[in-house]
């Protein structure tokens, strides 16, 4: 069974989340391609797609939204899973779903959609990014939860192998 993991990331933390998910899917015997959203030319060879994006200013990154716009129609016929990586709510102990991702995913209707905690390293950011992140209340640090990411990948593998 062939799976595409396609992830939009600006500073790399979401790409690493995607790589963890891809690795975990491979451990279940799935044949996984990792391709950046802008470089995906066709999804017809895949049985399932996992699409993810870092969240910036409450939105998915352009390349992930464009991916959904380009392949939305095909994705209805595919098994689709989606995840966001963000920091909203992390400071108060939780993690919030970004509010405007919903509409982007409405037409594609993923089988499951989750938000994972991300990473904010001010040294990697421009002055403008640091200012915006601070105004948004984002806190510094790496809050990624590899166990949660792997567990989610396990649920995808279980769903795919049970429909095989």
Ligand X SMILES: Cc1cc2nc3c(=O)[nH]c(=O)nc-3n(C[C@H](O)[C@H](O)[C@H](O)COP(=O)(O)O)c2cc1C
Instruction: Enumerate binding residues for ligand X (CB under 6 A).
Output: 9-15, 54-58, 85-88, 98, 118-120, 125, 129, 132-133, 136, 138
By beta-carbon proximity to ligand X, the closer residue of 28 and 130 is 130
Residues belonging to the chain: 164
**DSSP string of 70-135, one letter each residue:** HHHHHHHHSEEEEEEEE-TTGGGTS----TTHHHHHHTT--SEEEEEE-EE-GGGS-HHHHHHHHH
Q: Name which of 94 and 109 has its Cβ closer to ligand X.
A: 94
User: CB 17 → ligand X: shortest distance, Å?
Assistant: 8
- CB half-sphere exposure, 144, CA atoms < 13 A: 21
In angstroms, the CA 3 to CA 12 distance is 21
Q: Which of 4, 89, 13, 82 is nearest to 54 (CA)?
A: 13
Q: Are strands 119-120 and 31-34 parallel, antiparallel or unpaired?
A: unpaired
Q: Minimum Å distance from CB 68 to ligand X? A: 17
The nearest distance, CB 4 to ligand X, in angstroms, is 18
| Nearest approach, Cβ of residue 40 and ligand X (Å) | 18
Q: How far is the CB of 101 from ligand X (least distance, A)?
A: 10
CB of 54 or CB of 160, closer to ligand X: 54
By beta-carbon proximity to ligand X, the closer residue of 90 and 160 is 90
Closer Cβ to ligand X, 107 or 122, answer by number: 122
């Amino acid at each position: 069974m062939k799976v595409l993991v396609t992830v939009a990331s600006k500073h790399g933390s979401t790409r690493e989340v995607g790589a963890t998910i891809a690795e975990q899917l491979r451990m279940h015997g799935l044949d996984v391609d990792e391709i950046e959203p802008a470089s995906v030319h066709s999804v017809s060879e895949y049985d399932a797609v996992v699409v993810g994006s870092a969240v910036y200013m409450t939105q998915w990154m352009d390349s992930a939204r464009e991916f959904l716009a380009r392949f939305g129609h095909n994705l209805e016929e595919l098994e689709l899973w989606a995840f966001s990586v963000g920091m909203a709510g992390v400071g108060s102990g939780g993690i919030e779903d970004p509010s405007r991702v919903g509409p982007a995913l409405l037409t594609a209707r993923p089988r499951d959609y989750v938000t994972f905690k991300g990473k904010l390293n001010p040294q990697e950011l421009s002055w403008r990014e640091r200012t915006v992140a601070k105004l948004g209340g984002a806190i510094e640090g790496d809050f990624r939860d590899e166990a949660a990411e792997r567990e989610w990948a396990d649920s995808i593998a279980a769903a795919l192998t049970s429909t095989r």
